[in-house]
Amino acid sequence: MKIDLPSHPGLHAKTLRLMTSFSGALALGLFTQGAHADPSPALDRFSLSAGGYYVNPTFNIQGNTRYGSAESGDIDRNRTTLPRVRAELLLGDSHGLSFDYFRYRNDYDYSTTRSFNVGGTPAILAGTANANIQVDFASLAYKWWLGKGNDVFGIGLGAGYYRAHYDLRANGVFNGSTGALNESGTEKTFAPLVELGWKHAFSKDLRLYAEASGVKKNWGTVTGHIYGAALGVEWYPLKNLGIGADYGITRIHIERDGGNSQAAFDVKLTGPSAYLKVRF
């Protein structure tokens, strides 16, 4: 399955609104930071990270129609790099905002030939299918940081925005009768988001962190969830410029109920990420 994410004005507008809200809060945070004491050495007033998520994707595709059902089983795809942007802003000493955005796209080709009996009569079903799927995900959360020393724990609540687009093309032959399917669609929505985090400062310039997040939608034609977790380290050899690396796992599950047909796919992404980081 190919998750191809063509550019989409609506997606960019939604993401822009999230970033605009974050930028406004950033201005407020920088304006008021002088009135507060120094935060925990595990936290920065503002940090921005840009980099790539080098993943090993695993797919599992399922489909049900009036003619029968099929499942691909787990399929490993070639490693690929996903662009990712993250930002954190501290408001006061223990509150803040976090922003995250990533994009994933890939495609999948499937073919099958099956023999079975229908009312005692032998039947043969043969077909090929190609699916092109893309997922864009952006989130904005309000975070509470607990702790003042070298260890802090974070709890975040907010909203995640995801856009899933698919193009499906299939051709089949059932006992000599041919059929074709060409379908595409886009689902986009906001959904509740929960974030958990922990940071430990060996010094102001060297830190270890762990994080987990989840967003879930259980209404509408397309439902699903996106869960993620990572363990990483960040190092600032210069006062405002540093690097970060982590190893993470992301699970994307999307189901579509089209009335006469249903489809579901699972994507599991595992691998390291590397970032260039700036802070103020």
- Per the structure, the complete domain to which residue 99 belongs is given by 9-279
Q: Is residue 3 part of a domain?
A: no
DSSP count for the chain of H helices, then E strands? 1, 12
- Residue 50 in tokens: 């840009």
Using a pLDDT cut of 90, give the percent of the chain over it.
38
User: Which secondary structure element, helix H or strand E, spans residue 196, and what is its range?
Assistant: strand 177-203
φ, ψ for residue 11, nearest 5 deg: -60, -45
User: Is residue 157 in some structural domain?
Assistant: yes
Residue 4 falls inside a structural domain: no
pTM reported for the whole predicted model: 0.71
**Cβ proximity of 102 and 137 under 8 Å:** yes
128 phi/psi in degrees, rounded to 5: -130, 150
Q: In whole angstroms, give the CA distance from residue 194 to residue 200.
A: 21
Q: Is residue 1 part of a domain?
A: no
Digit-coded pLDDT (tens) for 37-93: 678 999 999 999 999 999 887 767 666 655 555 555 666 667 888 899 999 999 988
Give 3-state DSSP helix, strand, coil % of the chain, rounded to 5: 10, 70, 20
pLDDT tens figures, 159-174? 988 787 777 677 766 6
CATH number at residue 87: 2.40.128.90
* Total domains in the fold of the chain: 1
Judge whether 97 and 22 are in contact, CB under 8 Å.
yes
Distances (CA, A) of 238 to 198, 204, 242, 280: 23, 11, 6, 12
The string of pLDDT tens digits covering residues 20-29 is 555 554 555 4
Q: Report whether pLDDT(243) > 90.
A: yes
Domain assignment of residue 175, yes or no: yes
pLDDT of amino acid 203: 96
- pLDDT for residue 266: 79
> Does the pLDDT of residue 7 top 70, yes or no?
no
